[in-house]
Amino acid sequence: MARCARRACGRWRPGFLVQLGGLGLCLDDAWYCSAQCLELAARERLLRTRPIVPPALPTVGPPQLGGVLATQKRLSPAAIEKAASEQVRSGLRIGSQLVQLGLVSKFDVLRALAAQGGVGFLTTIDPARLTAAPGRLSRDVVRALGLVPFEADQKHEVLRVACTAPVPRASIAALRELTGAIIEPYLVADEQWPALVEAYGASPRAEAPSYAALPDVSAVAAHVARAARHSRGVQMFEARCDGHLWVRLEGGGRTEELWVTLDPSPLAALTVAAEAAPMVVAAQIAAAAPAAAKTEPMKAAAPVVAAEPIVLRRRRVRRQTPKAAAVPTVPLAMTGIKPQAKDRTAADPLDLSFLEAWDAQAPPQLGQ
């Protein structure tokens, strides 16, 4: 017997009908009796997604770029003071200011930025390595995350990505959460970044997933239900980062990426939490409604659910391809259903009208 994984439903179906008739849909390793139940379960799960934050940095912040260059014996204290005074007038970043004054080269700045962030660096990348879309990401997601994968080591589950300074720690954590791979970032010069993004997935044979930007979480849940109906089952990976919700679907030999920008207003944040637990925060919404009408959403934005730091380089166990629920088979003679021919076509489906009467009955118990 197969029972719907949505607790509020609990509808059950005989195992042989699930196997022979293809009833229900699968999300990850759970079976749902209908697309509506799967959509509601996916929506509740997405609403409970907590934001990913990078690991907490030590109390002492990273060294200043000028200090790193001085440690590497590339600058003198007098040169650093001169660049700092010029930076106040020009408004440039300190690295660009040092290069403009001719005190250091771009290579020196890139190496110092890599040492400051504790990552590696690359002076150049062959765009031909990016045309096949290593890591199987869409170009829109690459641009949004600020990470361009340039090498994927499937044997050791390592994905090497290029980025610009400062290192986007939150994006690295989100990419690690969704792909299950160890992310190794490498800094590149700012002027190389646009060419890398344009080259990523440019080959017609690239296996880049489809991308869709949806308006809200409900639209994402409906899309998940449609994808599960099309392929009879999907795997869903989700991550919330920097006010965005990123959902990755895998199933039926296809990969899809869904992107949602969450509403930063405090009232909307409380409403999202209430949809997942209405009895807990209903009073909070009533109290926050007058204040939310008087304040600007961007200034008063505050997530309701506390973020939990995620340790980088933690391996995540990938979910396996969904399989049909293992349920005991029941002889057809006990059900009163006439056996169907093996060459049954869509024009001659199974007669499942008796299921409506079964829904009103309690499921059979062992020993009866």
Residues 82, 25 within the same domain: no
| Each residue's pLDDT tens digit, 277-304 | 444 444 444 555 555 444 444 444 444 3
Given a cut of 90, is residue 46 above it in pLDDT?
A: yes
Residues 101, 142 within the same domain: no
Name 111's bridge partners. none
| Each residue's pLDDT tens digit, 209-268 | 888 899 999 999 999 999 998 887 899 999 988 788 999 999 888 889 999 988 765 444
Write down the pLDDT at residue 147. 94
Q: Give the number of domains in the chain.
A: 3
Of 267, 270, 218, the residue nearest 247 (C-alpha):
218
Residues 106, 131 within the same domain: no
- The answer to whether the beta carbons of residues 47 and 273 sit under 8 Å apart is yes
- The answer to whether the beta carbons of residues 230 and 252 sit under 8 Å apart is yes
The CATH number that applies at residue 136 is 3.30.300.160
Number of helices and strands (H, E) in the chain?
Answer: 14, 14
Residue numbers of the domain that contains 339: 1-33+322-363
> Has residue 306 been placed in a domain?
no
DSSP 62-109: PPPHHHHHHHTTS--HHHHHHHHHHHHHH---HHHHHHHTTSS-HHHH
| CA 15 – CA 69 distance, rounded (Å) | 68
Residues 127, 180 within the same domain: yes
Read off φ and ψ for residue 363, nearest 5 degrees. Answer: -65, 145
Helices 266-276 and 35-47: crossing angle in degrees, nearest 10, is: 130
> Has residue 352 been placed in a domain?
yes
> Has residue 144 been placed in a domain?
yes
> Has residue 7 been placed in a domain?
yes
Domain boundary among 199, 217, 249: 199
Residues 150, 104 within the same domain: no
Residues 103, 150 within the same domain: no
